Amino acid sequence: MTTATPAPGRYAIDVPRSEITFVTKHMFGLGTVRGSFRLRGGTVSLAEPLTGSRVDAVADAASFDTGNTNRDRKVLSKALLDTASYPDIAFSSTGAELTEAGTWALQGLLTAHGVRAPVTFTVARSGVDGDEIDIEATATVDRYAHGVTRLKGVAGRHLRLTASIRARRTGEIPA
């Protein structure tokens, strides 16, 4: 894997080789919870210049998994995520910029629990391997911004998401 700039074009996210993980607090900030969501699919469209690039991805809300069956069942229920009514968590980027710190920031809208709210992913790592790209980006998501406000104190308000994406070039960006 090199850190070279990838070729502009459209890349399909390789779902089995990609993941979304998170860390949050619970029990009034005393405990740490780690978990994951499975991706359903998505695309990365790299433009020249990179500021015109775009990312669209969808995760399966019902795949929420912390390894604790009782907690997972509560989070998936109407009390929190209500995955029966809102099965997808979707991200669509609205812009990309190189920050003063020399990292890429990808602004966008995250739709969870049927509510769209702004979020910024910071690219922590990227690489190129032939016609594949490997990207890791992090963001902090406020669940209250998505209307998921029950169990205050018991369930953490903020989730630190890490998207580890592997994608394969499928062609040029459509005009």
Q: Which of 43, 5, 36 is nearest to 20 (CA)?
A: 36
Task: Name every residue whose Cβ is closer than 8 Å to that of residue 175 and which is 6 or more positions away in sequence.
Answer: none
CA distance 44 to 168: 9
7-55 tens-digit pLDDT = 899 999 999 999 999 999 876 557 899 999 999 999 999 998 889 999 9
Question: Domain 9-170 class?
Answer: mainly beta
Q: Is the pTM of this model over 0.75?
A: yes
In the chain, which stretches have pLDDT less than 70? 1-5, 27-29, 151, 153-154, 174-175
